[in-house]
Amino acid sequence: MNRKLLAAATAVVAGALALGGCTPTPTTSGTTAAPAVKTGGEVNVAWNQAFESYNNATQDQNATANANITYMANDSIGYYDKDLKVIQNPSFGKYEKLSDNPLKVKVTLADTATWSDGTPVTAADMILQWVALSGNRNTYEPTLDDNGLAPANAGTQVYFNAASIGYKLITDMPEVGDNGKSATFTYSKPYVDWEISAMTPVGVPAHITAKKALSLTDNTAAAQAVIDAVKNKDAEKLGKIANFWNTGYKFMNMPTDKDIVVGSGPFTITDAKEKQYITLSKNPNYKGSHKANLDKITVRFIADAQASVQALQNGEVLVTQPQATADILKQVTALKDVTVQTAAGGTYEHVDMAQNNGGPFDPKAYGGDANKAKLVRQAFLTSIPRQKIIDNLIKPLNPNATIRNSFTTVPSSPAYAAIAGANGMEAAYGGGDSAKAKTILASAGLATPPTVRFLYASTNTRRQQEFQLIKEAAEAAGFKVEDKSAEKWGSLLPDTTKYDAALFGWQSTSLAVGESDANYRTKGQNNYYGYSNPAVDKLFDELLGTTESAKQTEILGKIEKLLVDDAFGTTIFQFPEITTSSNKLKNVSATPLSPNFFWNAWEWQLA
């Protein structure tokens, strides 16, 4: 499964094993008796990053800010509640494992699964999801542009700008059945996370995608056109479908073509203004069990944490989850008639480095000398003042905060100690040591100090502070560090010609065992940096077929040891998280997974 990039105030995506111990602790201030609740009404809530695309499955739009909105506008068969339990939604569909060898999974859509324009959700929608995320009809791999976009497919070229390891294991077209209401997926090998894929088998609507891509008018014919194009391997039509799937759902202002916002969920998008807000209204054609209580939810985009708290205090928004700092916690706990939920979130901070751009961490910069490039990476990583970052920026909020020493597993997981003990990250990088880093850099024998272009979110105050600490420590070790921060840093990640190192966070979308696969596998969707180690790929292959937890832990320890030995990057800390909601709005709770506090938006009620 994909992970989500979260920008601005809280930041971006997370771990692989169980996210235990993340249940928020609520505190309530200034309240008396619980007020009665009512149906209907309109509310405003705050989020720290602007919406950009209705198709968050593409590589360049794999962001939490997009996923929050698409989640509310679309249904699924299964989803996570605040306690990270999977809840089934039979009003959208069901899934069942038919066999283990080969692994066969049948997904059947319910008769009540309906798009907001009245069109039934069918197997065509699942076929579109499969062909897009599997890449099994792609005919080439293009060079992405500055925004992480592929050039338009031309002629018989086909490229869907996405990838999912689970869908890639389904090499044959799924079998359509039950009068177009089911699809049976046959995996080429065992896959431990098959249920995660089955929970959300549908993305953007097939009939809308085909109508726009192929200039069709009839919804039923358009949906069938997707099935036919995939079945017949019609590259000309698939290329056009891929073009629209890749880019056709991108908007920040409300599109004039309302087909672009057709969804299957309890809400539909009815208004949007670039970088200011997006509004979702109750879907009048929704037939599922998640019927919305509220008439309208407007998500206001407020990057500044102080401004979002002020908006809450003024009653301009009823929920906010600003970047957690000691000052913010103090401010929200002092407010009256609010509920404050604190938790260790599902997001962790880390630094990655590009090995494919001819820069200081790429062997090409040294005539192909891989060892020299690795020494430069090791020196830079050793200089990063992980302990100072935590002492200065995180401990004032959480006195018990510690360095996170795992690429794949949250510190609260039972497997964390074993994995962190096996990977060698603490021994390699510790809390940061500029003197040691300077010695390592000197051993590389460079003629001039290497220049590192450093990418991070320019609108994020904590990232600005982290950058200054990293820059100071790295320059003491002999590097020159350039500030390449950007507001739309997330869209720049696929284009490593723009930077050499990036500071951001990953937030989990699920509890999938193999969720980190996309980050470290050769050409994985989230592996932007050209990193490739066949031994890592082989271990992930083994992990994806392993169901025994002790063996999973052992494999992850081996993977992480290779990542540390290769000087891929480093992790820093697990995010503290603060969700504050007005007591005027009921049934609000936080979960460490994307979609955050939006997970049950249909249950929200005004007092």
Strand boundaries in 124-276, DSSP class E: 175-177, 182-186, 267-273
State the pLDDT at residue 481.
98
For residue 124, the domain's CATH number is 3.90.76.10
Number of domains making up the chain: 3
**Per-residue pLDDT at 224 exceeds 70:** yes
State the pLDDT at residue 35.
56
State the average pLDDT over residues 414-429: 96
If asked whether residues 355 and 431 sit together in one domain, one would say yes
- How far, in Å, CA of 406 to CA of 416, rounded? 7
**Per-residue pLDDT at 260 exceeds 80:** yes
Q: Is residue 83 part of a domain?
A: no
State the pLDDT at residue 150.
73
Specify whether the CB–CB gap between 164 and 197 falls below 8 A.
Answer: yes
State the average pLDDT over residues 255-262: 98
State the average pLDDT over residues 139-150: 76
Residues facing residue 26 across a β-bridge = 341
Which residue from 171, 46, 183, 77 is spatially nearest to 126, judged by alpha carbons? 183
Backbone Cα Rg of the chain: 24
State the pLDDT at residue 164.
87
Q: Which two tokens stand for residue 295?
A: 């008439």
Q: Is residue 389 part of a domain?
A: yes
If asked whether residues 45 and 61 sit together in one domain, one would say yes
- Answer with the residue of higher pLDDT: 163 or 229: 229
Tell which of 219, 247, 275 closes a domain.
247
Is-cis flag, bond preceding 411, omega within 30?
A: no
Q: Which domain holds residue 360?
A: 346-575
Lowest mean pLDDT among 335-339, 445-449, 503-507: 503-507
If asked whether residues 310 and 386 sit together in one domain, one would say no
**Per-residue pLDDT at 278 exceeds 70:** yes
Average pLDDT score, the chain? 91
State the pLDDT at residue 273.
98
If asked whether residues 511 and 435 sit together in one domain, one would say yes
**Per-residue pLDDT at 30 exceeds 80:** no
State the pLDDT at residue 446.
96
Q: Is residue 80 part of a domain?
A: no
If asked whether residues 227 and 292 sit together in one domain, one would say no
If asked whether residues 562 and 599 sit together in one domain, one would say no
State the pLDDT at residue 342.
87
State the pLDDT at residue 525.
82
**Per-residue pLDDT at 16 exceeds 80:** no
Phi, psi (deg, nearest 5) at residue 347: -110, 145
Q: Is residue 88 part of a domain?
A: no
If asked whether residues 316 and 355 sit together in one domain, one would say no
Q: pLDDT tens, 290-305?
A: 999 999 999 999 999 9
If asked whether residues 354 and 452 sit together in one domain, one would say yes
Q: Is residue 81 part of a domain?
A: no
Percent of the chain residues past pLDDT 90, beyond the cut: 78
If asked whether residues 200 and 235 sit together in one domain, one would say yes
Q: Is residue 122 part of a domain?
A: yes
Phi, psi (deg, nearest 5) at residue 352: -115, 160
Phi, psi (deg, nearest 5) at residue 151: -65, 155
Which residue from 116, 264, 246 is spatially nearest to 200, judged by alpha carbons? 264
Which residue from 395, 345, 471 is spatially nearest to 48, judged by alpha carbons? 345
Distances (CA, A) of 95 to 98, 112, 127, 385, 489: 9, 16, 15, 47, 38
- The contacts of residue 527 (CB under 8 Å, 6+ apart) are 518, 519, 520, 521
If asked whether residues 417 and 442 sit together in one domain, one would say yes
The CB density around residue 492, as the number of other CB atoms within 10 Å, is 20
Q: Is residue 494 part of a domain?
A: yes
Which residue from 117, 327, 340 is spatially nearest to 223, judged by alpha carbons? 117
- The contacts of residue 227 (CB under 8 Å, 6+ apart) are 123, 124, 127, 176
Q: Is residue 79 part of a domain?
A: no
If asked whether residues 351 and 340 sit together in one domain, one would say no
Which residue from 178, 338, 291, 222 is spatially nearest to 328, judged by alpha carbons? 338
For residue 529, the domain's CATH number is 3.10.105.10
**Per-residue pLDDT at 572 exceeds 90:** yes
Lowest mean pLDDT among 44-53, 137-146, 249-258, 422-431: 137-146
pLDDT-based confidence at 509, cuts 50/70/90?
confident
- How far, in Å, CA of 482 to CA of 428, rounded? 25
pLDDT-based confidence at 148, cuts 50/70/90?
low
CA atoms within 13 A on the CB side of 338: 25
- What is the helix, strand, coil percentage profile of the chain, to 5? 35, 20, 45
If asked whether residues 286 and 354 sit together in one domain, one would say no
For residue 323, the domain's CATH number is 3.40.190.10
Tell which of 247, 274, 293 closes a domain.
247
State the pLDDT at residue 580.
97
Angle, CA of 444, 447 and 450, to the nearest 5°: 70
**Per-residue pLDDT at 451 exceeds 50:** yes
Q: pLDDT tens, 535-558?
A: 999 999 999 999 999 999 999 999
Give the DSSP H or E segment for 375.
helix 370-383
Q: Which two tokens stand for residue 446?
A: 């460079």
Lowest mean pLDDT among 175-184, 224-233, 280-289, 520-529: 520-529
State the pLDDT at residue 58.
92
Specify whether the CB–CB gap between 473 and 375 falls below 8 A.
Answer: no
Q: Within its chain, how far is the Cα of 209 from the centroid?
A: 23
Tell which of 215, 247, 279 closes a domain.
247
